[in-house]
Amino acid sequence: MHRVFPSPARRQSGFTLVELLVSLGVIAILASVLLSASSTAQESANRTKCLGNIKQLGGALTQYAADNNNFGPYDGREAGIDSPAILRAGQSLILFGQLLPYLIPDPDKYLASVSQTPEVFLCPSTERKMLAAYRAPVGPGGLQYTRYFMNTDVSTNPLKKTSLLAFPGRTITIVDFCLWWSAASGLDENHKGKGLNCIRLDGSAGWISKKDTLNLPGWNFEALSRNGTGQQ
């Protein structure tokens, strides 16, 4: 005699709500990991490109000094221009602008036209909206700035003129735009406040972490000119 057993209830096809929620959670975690890895890789690439820009600017500064009795570029401070990031004021090339002949093929054409800031003066890690503002064309009478700072110790004006030969080779000359010591500035840093790229008078260049600046006497990039460490 055969016994008849009831067949088990057939499982409904598809996911249960719990399984669906678990799957969505796993997907969200994987997406977060992938986005984080992508963001990290992008910042690493941007940091490398940024360092390349700074090396070009440092090389241009060296060439400028060689052509000008070892003095740095004019900074316009006696005329009331007080920015370590200035490129141009109207028809005058100021500070970084003085390096243009060593960086672009036709600086006179740039000065006479409605021009965008040359890419070598812009850090690719700059926040997108800020970068767009810096890229916006500027007419012949306007002000134009870079996303880098030049140490005012190495610039010149009629009231201050010091030969670059007077400074130690470790003096930092050009750095990323960084204002983490000044929360009231309303401006962002090139690398989200994690640190900065720099180049020194002797041509060595590298990254300095923000934590390596914490014990410096003052929250400004000029303090780094005597105390900066960073990777070579």
Q: Is 200 helix (H, G, I), strand (E, B) or coil?
A: strand
How far apart are the C-alpha atoms of 166 and 154, rounded to whole Å? 10
Question: What pLDDT does residue 36 have?
Answer: 56
> CB–CB of 151/173 below 8 Å?
yes
Structure tokens at 90: 């109207």
Work out the average pLDDT over 108-125: 82
pTM over the 0.85 mark: no
DSSP state of 10: P
Q: Are 230 and 208 in contact (CB under 8 A)?
A: yes
φ and ψ of 50, to 5 deg: -60, -45
Q: Residue 149 belongs to what H/E stretch?
A: strand 148-150
Spell out the alpha helix ranges (H) of 136-185. Answer: none
Residue 142 reports pLDDT greater than 90: no
The confidence score (pLDDT) of residue 123 equals: 92
